[in-house]
Amino acid sequence: MQAPGIDIVKGICGIDVLRETRIFQGETRAVTVIHAAGRVGGPATMLRSVDGGETWSVIDLREKAGMILDVKFFDARNGLVCAATSIDTAQAQALILRTRDGGASWETVYQSDRRFENCWKMSFPTRQVGYATVQNYEQGTSKRVVVKTTDGGANWRELPLVDDAKVREFGVGFVDEDRGWVGTSTTGFETRDGGLSWSPVAMGPAVNKIRVLRTEKGFRAFAIGVQLHRLDG
């Protein structure tokens, strides 16, 4: 892969693939927009392609964040990244940045008021409603939260997940605006009321990715961690 400035990209933690339909010279064409961002421990950089990976550009977010853990774009211009404010975990606060111009500029839409945190993964069951996990490494801290938006990522609020020092959050996946799951270091948690309440659910430890697919009968969800679990609904 060749891209101007690619030497500053040291690793990738999240990849977002978006398929769009555009009008070009009076014809409808399918295009693929790809963003690959990372990494855990920094630096906060991103690769961007608007032609299905034929050509790439580098987006440098080191002045805005210490590291990037996940990326989500709704179209070629509007997107979000899960991040942390510092590469130093002891100083880092969980962070979500938003762009409305394809990555040319970014604004902070969520920042926690606690240290030892990052924003790990996000899930958007609809264009307006989304959830993200907040990972906490501080010894002695037990209250875990997720964050939720109902306006497409412009504003976020914290919701309690569990009060348990053993729990560290990882992946998140939602089948609709109300029902979804969070994977953690110990087990999974499920909500059916949009994050207002959560119940433990067996999906194995350290689930870093939850993938929800639509089926003719409903959905099929995969929880990918130390083990692989499947749920049909």
User: Is residue 227 situated within a structural domain?
Assistant: no
Q: Which residue has the tokens 């609809």?
A: 126
User: Is residue 189 situated within a structural domain?
Assistant: no
Q: What residues make up the domain containing 104?
A: 6-179
For residue 232, what pLDDT is reported?
A: 94
90-144 pLDDT, tens digit per residue, is 999 999 999 999 999 999 999 999 999 999 999 999 999 999 999 999 999 999 9
For residue 88, what pLDDT is reported?
A: 96
For residue 4, what pLDDT is reported?
A: 85
- Residues (pLDDT < 70) of the chain are 1, 22-26
* Cα 43 to the center of its chain, rounded Å: 17
pTM here is: 0.94
For residue 29, what pLDDT is reported?
A: 78
User: Is residue 116 situated within a structural domain?
Assistant: yes
Residue 229 and residue 210 in contact, taking contact as beta carbons nearer than 8 Å:
no
Closest alpha carbon to 58 in 74, 85, 38: 38
User: Is residue 223 situated within a structural domain?
Assistant: no
For residue 58, what pLDDT is reported?
A: 97
User: Is residue 204 situated within a structural domain?
Assistant: no
For residue 200, what pLDDT is reported?
A: 97
Q: Total structural domains in the chain? A: 1
For residue 141, what pLDDT is reported?
A: 94
User: Is residue 207 situated within a structural domain?
Assistant: no
User: Is residue 187 situated within a structural domain?
Assistant: no
User: Is residue 222 situated within a structural domain?
Assistant: no
Burial 110-129 (b: 16+ CB within 10 A, else e): bbbeebbbbbbbbbbbeeeb
Residue 85 and residue 62 in contact, taking contact as beta carbons nearer than 8 Å:
no
Q: How far apart are CA 180 and CA 201, in angstroms?
A: 11
